[in-house]
Structure 1
Amino acid sequence: MSDRELYCDTCEGVQPFEAPPCVDGHDADCPELLCTGCGAAVLIATFAFQAPRLDRRGRRPVPHRRAA
């Protein structure tokens, strides 16, 4: 089990959180964490974003202007 200190909404303060035994095989990297003070669960989600595409000349595209 891993320990992390995060803000707990239920306890209204920073508390140690730990990952429960994970049945999905994440082990210490399980995205679900439990507050050791009150047992509230949080889910840590990470997102990967692709870099924006540049035009062919390597410059950012110019935004189009609307006609008045």
Structure 2
Amino acid sequence: MSDREFHCDNCEGVQPFEAPPCVDGHGADCPELVCTGCGSAVLIATFAFHAPQLAARRRPRSTHRRAA
């Protein structure tokens, strides 16, 4: 089990959190953490986003001038 310190809303302060035994096979990197003070559970979620690809910007090419 790994210990991490986070703010617990129920305990109203910084408390150590630990990862319970994970049935999903995450081990110590389990995103579910439990406050050792009151037993409140939190979920730490990380997301990987791919940078959006912007379409190539094209400037209209004007071959003639417009009269004013």
Q: TM-score range by the shorter chain?
A: 0.7 to 0.9
Equivalent residue, structure 2, for 1:65: none
Equivalent residue, structure 2, for 1:63: none
The Cα shift of 1:16 comes to: 0.4
Q: Which amino acid aligns with 2:33?
A: L
Identity of aligned residues (%): 82
Equivalent residue, structure 1, for 2:35: 35
Aligned residues: 57
How high is the TM-score relative to the length of structure 1? Answer: 0.77
The equivalences for 1:1-68 within 5 A come to 1-56=1-56
How high is the TM-score relative to the length of structure 2? Answer: 0.77
Q: Distance in 1 between matches of 2:8 and 2:51?
A: 33
Q: Which runs of 4+ in 1 moved over 4 A?
A: none
Gaps of 5+ in 1: 58-68
Q: Which moved more, 1:30-39 or 1:44-53?
A: 44-53
Q: Distance in 2 between matches of 1:15 and 1:39?
A: 11
Gaps of 5+ in 2: 58-68
